[in-house]
């Protein structure tokens, strides 16, 4: 058995790769996000579209998990899930959430906050039919998402039963309990690691339909 690391105080890196100046950024935070996101794609990072999604229920109890970005436009940032999942239940009670992108090899992080709404049924259906067939089946059988199941074999059995049932059926209908959400941003923060922990942090906050940029203490 490996020894447990008891002291993490000496584990640290010095961030040396970049800097972030007000003169270098777009006045539109969505365009600034796309600029950094495209850099992450071009760097061939592992799943640069993976993001942490933080939600909270009506009591303020937080939940965070990793989901995949599936759309990014001036209208908002899209992800898909089971409406009966913990995230879906949280958003039904408290429609505000935050996204976090972290690209360690670029020493960059982006936070995006705002109100979340369901996207249209047609958009959800269109995306559902773009998914691999087995992913479509998985959406059907993984319900209620986060619900307790006896063991892995029981889940696999449910999957194989539906797989056999639908066979070569041309189209599998989207489950009514599954679809997309869109976060409409009202706050962004761009973080660039810097030496000596003097990190660059620039925030964008919407005020009277104008984005106000501020530098934050690291």
**DSSP code, position 171:** -
Catalytic-residue membership of 182? no
> Annotated binding residue at 100?
no
**Are 106 and 40 spatial neighbours (Cβ–Cβ below 8 Å)?**
yes
**Are 80 and 124 spatial neighbours (Cβ–Cβ below 8 Å)?**
yes
Question: In terms of DSSP bridges, do strands 50-56 and 96-103 run parallel, antiparallel, or are they unpaired?
Answer: antiparallel
Tokens of 51: 């993001």
> Annotated binding residue at 145?
yes
> Annotated binding residue at 66?
yes
58, 61, 133, 197: which one is catalytic? 197
> Annotated binding residue at 70?
yes
Bridge partner list, 205: 187, 212
> Annotated binding residue at 109?
yes
> Annotated binding residue at 105?
no
> Annotated binding residue at 181?
no
> Annotated binding residue at 13?
yes
Show the beta-strand stretches assigned E in 43-140.
50-56, 62-68, 71-73, 76-82, 96-103, 108-118
- Catalytic residue list: 197
Which residues does the annotation place in the binding site?
12-15, 65-70, 80-81, 87, 109, 127, 131, 135, 145-146, 191, 197-199, 201
Which residues does the annotation place in the binding site for substrate?
12-15, 70, 127, 131, 135, 197-199
Which residues does the annotation place in the binding site for FMN?
65-70, 80-81, 87, 109, 145-146, 191, 201
């Amino acid at each position: 058995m490996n020894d447990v690391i008891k002291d993490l105080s000496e584990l640290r890196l010095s961030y040396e790769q970049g800097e972030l100046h007000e003169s270098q950024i777009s006045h539109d935070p969505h365009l600034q996000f796309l600029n950094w996101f495209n850099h992450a794609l071009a760097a061939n990072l592992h799943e640069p579209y993976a993001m942490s999604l933080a939600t909270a229920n009506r009591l303020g109890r937080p939940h965070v998990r990793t989901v995949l970005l599936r759309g990014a436009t001036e209208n908002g940032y899209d992800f898909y899930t089971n409406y009966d999942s913990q995230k879906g239940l949280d958003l039904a009670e408290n429609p505000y959430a935050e996204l976090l992108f972290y690209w360690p090899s670029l020493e960059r992080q982006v936070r995006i906050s705002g109100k979340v709404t369901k996207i249209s049924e047609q958009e959800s259906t269109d995306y559902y039919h773009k998914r691999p067939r087995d992913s479509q089946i998985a959406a059907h059988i993984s319900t209620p998402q986060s619900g307790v199941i006896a063991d892995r074999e029981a889940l696999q059995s449910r999957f194989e039963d539906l797989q056999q049932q639908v066979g070569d059926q041309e189209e599998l209908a989207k489950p009514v309990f599954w679809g997309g959400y869109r976060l409409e941003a009202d706050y962004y923060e761009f973080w660039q690691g810097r030496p000596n922990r003097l990190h660059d942090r620039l925030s964008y906050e919407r005020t009277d339909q104008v984005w106000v940029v501020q530098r934050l203490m690291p």
